[in-house]
Every structure is written in C-alpha cells, then in structure tokens.
Amino acid sequence: MYDVYKIRKQFPMLTNNIKMQNKPLTFLDNCSTTFKPQCVIDAMNEYYTKYTSNSHRGDYDLSVNADTKIEEARKEIASLVNSEVNEVVFTTGATGALNLVAYGYGLKYLKKGDEIILSVAEHASNVLPWFRIAELTGATIKYVEIVNGRILAENLRKVISNKTKIVSLAHVGNVLGYVADIKEFAKIAHEYGAIMVCDGAQSVPHIKTDFKDLDVDFLAFSAHKMCGPTGVGALVGKYELLQKMDPFTTGGGMNSVFKKDGTVDYRLPPYKFEAGTLDVAGIIGFGRAVKFIKEIGIDNIHKHDQELIDYALEKLKDYKDIIIYNKDARNGILTFNIKGVFPQDEATLMNYKGIAIRSGEHCAKLLDNYLDTKATCRMSTYLYTTKEEIDVFVDAIINGGDILDAYFN
C-alpha cells in the first residue's frame, strides 16, 4: 500500500511548515528539482562528521571508508538502471554527463559531413553540447519531427541515414512528459551504425529505465531530480564505448602513469572520467537517494504520478479556460495555459497562493513553434505529492482571481 503521508514524514521540506507568501508551501515543480529525505541528508552529513577524507588517495582507513561508500553508491545506481557497476561514471549531473559524451565521444569520432539527430523538444543540455560539437567538427544537426508532442520511430527513420553518427533524445520530455520509445530508437540508430544517447533526466526518477533492455549506448541523469543532492549525476555508458571515449577533464585520480615526454596511461573506465576530487558527499547522497527510490519502488512512483495527473485532469475537465497540452502523457507533468493569461502571470498568481509551478519555455527553446504558444505553465508531481496539493492547485486555477491579486492583497 502506497502511503504518501508516511513518505512525506521523511522530508524536512514537507514537515518544517515551510511557507511561501505566508501560505503553506505546495511544491509542484518537481521536474525542476525534488526535496531530499532525511536519510539522504544524514548520509551526506555522516561523511562530513564521521569519515571525511579524500577518495582514491589515502593509505589509511578513513580514506578506504570513503572509497567504499562511493563504490556502494555506484552499485546502487547500476542496480537501479540495470547496468554493470563499472559502466557508471559520476558527473556533475545530466548536463555534465551529456557534455562528457559530446566532448569525449562526439569530438573524437565525428567529422565533417556526419550528422547528429536531435528533436526540437530537447532540453538545452541535450542541444547546446551538440551545437558545439557540430561547430568544432563540421558535423550537422538534424531534427526528428514531433507529432502531437511525441517522437515517432517512423519519423526518426525519415531523417536517419548512413551519415548519422549520433542520435540523442530524451526518454521523457521535460515540457510535455511523453515517454519516447527509446528502445526502438536505439534499434534504428544501431541499424545505421549510429550510437544512441538517452537523456534520462526526467525518466530515471519516474519510470523504469533499463539500460540493458533499452540497449542505448549512453544514459545521462541527475541525482537532484530523484531526491538526491544537487551537483551530482551519472553517465552510464556501454563499457566498450567508455573504453574508446576520451576523458573530458584530466587530472588527479584518473591516471596511473604520466611522464615528462607527455605519455600518459589513463585508468580504466569509469575512473578515467572522474578527474579531481569528487563530490564525495554528493555521491554518497546520490546512492542513498537511489536506495530510497528502490525501497518505494519505481513502478509505484510512476503509478502515483499517473494517479495524481488523472485526478487533476478529472477535476479540471469541465473548466473551459484551461488549455492542456499533454492530457494523455500522464507521467507526472501537466503542461497548460489559462486562456488570455500570460504564463508568467499565472505562475506569479500561484506563487502568491504558496504554489510553486514553472512558467516559460522550460529550457526547450526550440519547441515553441510546435506548441502554438511561446510559453506554458508546467505543474509536476513526485512521490510525495498528495491529492490535497492537487486540490490546492486546481482551486487556484479555477478560483484564482485576478493576476494582480499577487501585488495588491
């Protein structure tokens, strides 16, 4: 039995009577980031209060302890996404992971005339690194057409060719929340000898994301969107590709030998990509967050997200002034506009009522032409969101009052 109230008790942000605009906080911007349970905070604090030391450095017990904890976190993450443990590279987040593939693999193997396939719904972090690589190598960017918010395999087939070297797409889009058939896309990419990069920032926290089953070559995601700390994430990559790939940053901890004549022996992946002192506390928190997610069960989380969106849709079904762009996504994301109201103004009104939602382009600045609107409001749930919070949200939509109430009450 999924007991959301019991789950909430573990989150200080939900039990500390946090207020916004002097009203109880209703946090519905979980696509942006998520709250952290006490166990994650404690795990990180323990590193700072009980066994602080550098990893991969010391010959003493404390340092070995930090190493052990990092490797435990790596195991947790590998088990969540079903990869080998040595296929998990720690990064600064999904952005760091996508940049690592772009510079480590793309820059090494792409040349003039090669093609990279993206979609217009991609987040900036899965667009801009590829723009840079295209600029540096002379490769060109192609886009898969989006139909009703979705990327279809048949449309990927329309743009892919033997020139395609990389296909990089989100598993779940951060604006509309549709789940893409990444497994099929990977199959198509491989038919053409291209590699498949999957931006899992919005999928790994919400739905089962099986690295081996999807057969993608790289999978990128962030800890902070799944109850973990900010500033840490992972790139999961097929081991043979990680071996071929160049490091993006070099320095301590990632080499085994280097000499005056410039020769260097790098360590094996994943360590080859983890130069410098890692965010040890962050990685430990990441591992603990993944354990927390696994204890609740990713399928239960997904079901909970779906139920909340269904509930919101049911409550809003007779309200004529709302335009919903993704009614059938049911994946914890509701993207909408209120007729005649500028999205930012709606978000300000929500803020005034203590509700956190996001308005704007949600970092997917190529998408506006396809939605027939430049910007939208986005409400997003997570494992601790309650129906009562959806009630507060729906009430604000329907009985929201004037957008200037926020300024004059």
Rounded to the nearest whole angstrom, what is the least distance from the CB of residue 302 to other proteins in the complex?
Answer: 29
* List 39, 227, 363, 377, catalytic entry: 363
Name which position in 79, 342, 366, 391 contacts other proteins (CB under 8 A): 342
Interaction of residue 366 with other proteins, rule CB under 8 A: no
Interaction of residue 18 with other proteins, rule CB under 8 A: no
Q: 15 or 21, CB closer to other proteins? A: 21
User: What is the C-alpha separation between 243 and 86, in angstroms, rounded?
Assistant: 11
Q: 192 or 342, CB closer to other proteins? A: 342
Residue 363 a catalytic site member: yes
Interaction of residue 369 with other proteins, rule CB under 8 A: no
Strand partners, 172: 179
Amino acid found at 116: I
- 19-38: which residues touch other proteins (CB under 8 A)? 21
Binding-residue total with other proteins (CB under 8 A): 19
Interaction of residue 348 with other proteins, rule CB under 8 A: yes
Interaction of residue 68 with other proteins, rule CB under 8 A: no
User: What is the C-alpha separation between 337 and 376, in angstroms, rounded?
Assistant: 6
Name which position in 26, 359, 380, 381 contacts other proteins (CB under 8 A): 359
Half-sphere exposure at residue 228, Cβ-oriented, CA atoms within 13 angstroms: 36
H-run or E-run covering 117: strand 115-119
Q: Which residues contact 8 (CB under 8 A, 6 or more apart)?
A: 14, 15, 384, 386
Name which position in 352, 370, 382, 384 contacts other proteins (CB under 8 A): 352
> What's the token pair of residue 352?
């005034």
Comparing C-alpha atoms, which of 265, 125, 92, 280 is closest to residue 198? 125
Contact in structure between 120 and 143 (CB atoms under 8 Å): yes
Q: 140 or 344, CB closer to other proteins? A: 344
Report residue 279: phi and psi, to 5°: -80, 80
Rounded to the nearest whole angstrom, what is the least distance from the CB of residue 93 to other proteins in the complex?
Answer: 18
Would you please indicate which residues are annotated as catalytic (active-site) residues? 363
Q: Which residues of the shown chain bind other proteins in the complex (CB under 8 A)?
A: 21, 342-345, 348, 351-352, 359-361, 374-375, 402-404, 406-408
